[in-house]
Amino acid sequence: MSSASNGHMTDRVDVALADVALGGAVKFTTDRLRGRKAEASEALGDWQEWREAGRSIRAHTVANLDYYVDQFTTNATAAGSTVHFASDGVEAVAAIRQIVREKAAKLVIKSKSMVTEEIHLNAAFEADGLECVETDLGEYILQLAKEPPSHIIVPCIHKRRSEIAALFSAEAGREIAQDTVSLTAFARQKLRETFIAADIGITGCNFALADTGSIVLFSNEGNGRMTTTLPKTHVVVMGMERLLPTFEDLDIFAKLLPRSATGQKITSYMTVLTGPRRDCEVDGPDDVHIVILDNGRSNQLGDPEFQEILNCIRCGACLNVCPVYRHVGGHAYGNVYPGPIGAVLAPLLRPDDPAAAELPYASSLCGACAEACPVKIPLHDMLVRLRARNVARGNGKPEEQIAFTGFAKLFGSASLYGPMMQLARLGQKLTVGNGRRPQWFMNLFGPAGAWAKGRDLPTSQGASFRERWAKRGGHRNGK
C-alpha cells in the first residue's frame, strides 16, 4: 500500500483544493506560461512541422539508444570527461559521494536539476553532513522552505511572494521586503558567496550530444554557468535518454524547448560544455564527471506501448495545460515529476510502487497534454494503457472489478440492458432524484452520491430513446 505519510492521491487532491491561495498561484502562472507558449509557437510558424521534426529525432535516438550512449561516452571521454554509469539512484548517489570524498569537498552547489531530485541527492548530502546549496532562485527558495519542487520548470510555482519574503527574512535575520528587487538582491548576494567558495558544482543536463561528447544546459538566471565554471569540479547527472545524435540536431530543440517550457524564443543562456578546462583556457573546471542514470528507463526500450515516453524533453508544457495540475498543483501528485508526464513516468520507472500506480487515474483523459507535447508523446493514451496494465496485473480494486464485470454482463446484451436501465431510471426517480437529498442519504448511493456533492444528477426525460423508437414502430414520425 502507499506509504502512510503520503496518503492517497485523492486525499492529497482534497488538501490542495482546500488551499485557495495555492490554486490561485498555480492558475496565474500556468495561464501565463501557456499563453506565452501559444504566442511563441505561433510566431515561429509551422509549429506542427517543428514538433514532427523533434519527435522524429527523439524517436530515432531512443530507438538506437545503445549506439548513441556508446558514441557519447567515447567522445566525452576523449574530451577529458569521466563517465560513470548508474543502474539506479543508489548507484548514482554512491558515484557522486565517491567524487565528493576524493575532492574532500566541503561545499557543493547545484543548479536546477530534476534528475537529482529523482535520486534524492540532497537528502543524501544532508545525511552526510555536507553543505549543499541550490543556486536556482526557485530551488533556493524551496531549499529554505524544505519542500520539493512542484513543477519541473518553475519549481516554486506554488509559493506566494509573501511566503518567499518570510523565508528570506528568516534566513537573513532581518526584514527583507516583498518587492522583486529586494528579494532577488538578497538571493544574489547569498548565492555569489557560495559560487566562489564551492568545491563542486552539480547540474543536470538538458541534452547530451553524441557526436561531440558535449552536454547542453538551458538556463535563464546565469547560475548554471556559474555552477559549471567556478568550482574546480563539475558533476553532471543525466538520464540515459537525454541524448541527441549531433550538434545540428540541437537547432530543432533550441527552438522547441524554450518555447514549450516558458514561451521564450530562446533561453537566456544555452551552454554547450565539452570536457574540462583546456590548458589554454582561463575558465572552467579541472574535472568533469558525467553520471548516466538508468533508474528504470531502459525497461521502456522495446516496449511498443511506452518506449515513446523516453522522447520527453522535460519542458513542462503538459503541466501548464493540464486541468488537474491547474487545480491541485504539483505536490498533490506526491511524486518528483508531477503532472501528466509524472503520472506516466512514475508507474513506468517504479512498477512495483502502489503509490505510483494511483497517479494515472488522476486525469480526465482530456488529451491537452498530448496536444501540448513538443515531441508528440501520446500521454493520454499512455494513461489509459497504464490503467489497463494495473488491472492486468491483478491490482484493480475488487469493487471495481465487480462493477465492470456487471457492466459487461448488462451492457453486453441489448435485451438485458434495455429493461435493466428502465428499472435503474425508475430506481433513481424513487430514491436520489436529481441528487438534492441530504448528504447522508446520498452517501448510500456511491457514485451518484459522489457526483451530487456539487452537481445535480441528470434526470430522465421519461422513456429512453429506444423505448420511444420502438413505440413508434421503428421510425421517427416527427413533424
Mask 369-408, x = binds another protein (CB under 8 A)? -xx--------x---x-xxxxxxx---x---xx--xx-xx
- Of 290, 336, 362, 373, the one binding another protein (CB under 8 A) is 362
Q: Applying CB under 8 A, does 439 fall inside the site for another protein?
A: no
Q: Applying CB under 8 A, does 328 fall inside the site for another protein?
A: yes
Alpha-carbon separation of residue 183 from 70, 147, 226, 302 (angstroms):
45, 19, 20, 48
The dihedral built from the CA positions of residue 133, 136, 141 and 146, taken in this order, carries a sign that is: negative
- What secondary structure letter does DSSP report for 98? H
Which of these segments, 190-198, 240-248, 254-262, 468-476, binds another protein (CB under 8 A)? 468-476
Distance CA 135, CA 14 (A): 32
Half-sphere CA count of 144, side-chain side, radius 13 A: 21
The Cα angle at residue 59 between residues 54 and 60, in degrees rounded to 5: 100
When the beta carbons of 152 and 357 are compared against another protein, the nearer one is: 357
When the beta carbons of 14 and 128 are compared against another protein, the nearer one is: 14
Q: Applying CB under 8 A, does 469 fall inside the site for another protein?
A: yes
Contact 88, 291 (CB under 8 A): no
Could you tell me how many residues of this chain bind another protein (CB under 8 A)?
72
Residue with cell 542514470: 293
β-pairing, 287-293 with 233-239?
A: parallel
Q: Applying CB under 8 A, does 78 fall inside the site for another protein?
A: no
Q: Which of residues 11-30 bind another protein (CB under 8 A)?
A: 13-14, 17
When the beta carbons of 318 and 368 are compared against another protein, the nearer one is: 368
The distance of Cα 259 from the centroid of its chain, to the nearest Å, equals: 17
What are the cell numbers at 200? 563542486
Which three-class secondary structure state does DSSP give residue 314? Answer: coil
Residue with cell 421517427: 476
Distance CA 427, CA 110 (A): 62
- Of 413, 427, 429, 431, the one binding another protein (CB under 8 A) is 413
Residues facing 310 on adjacent strands: none
Q: Applying CB under 8 A, does 367 fall inside the site for another protein?
A: yes
Q: Applying CB under 8 A, does 180 fall inside the site for another protein?
A: no
- Of 79, 197, 417, 443, the one binding another protein (CB under 8 A) is 417
In the complex, least distance from residue 463 CB atom to another protein, rounded to whole angstroms: 7
Q: Applying CB under 8 A, does 87 fall inside the site for another protein?
A: no
- Of 119, 216, 368, 379, the one binding another protein (CB under 8 A) is 368
In the complex, least distance from residue 478 CB atom to another protein, rounded to whole angstroms: 5
Q: Applying CB under 8 A, does 181 fall inside the site for another protein?
A: no
Q: Applying CB under 8 A, does 458 fall inside the site for another protein?
A: yes
The dihedral built from the CA positions of residue 446, 451, 456 and 459, taken in this order, carries a sign that is: negative
In the complex, least distance from residue 433 CB atom to another protein, rounded to whole angstroms: 12
Distance CA 232, CA 470 (A): 83
Which of these segments, 117-125, 185-193, 212-220, 319-327, binds another protein (CB under 8 A)? 319-327
Distance CA 292, CA 92 (A): 8
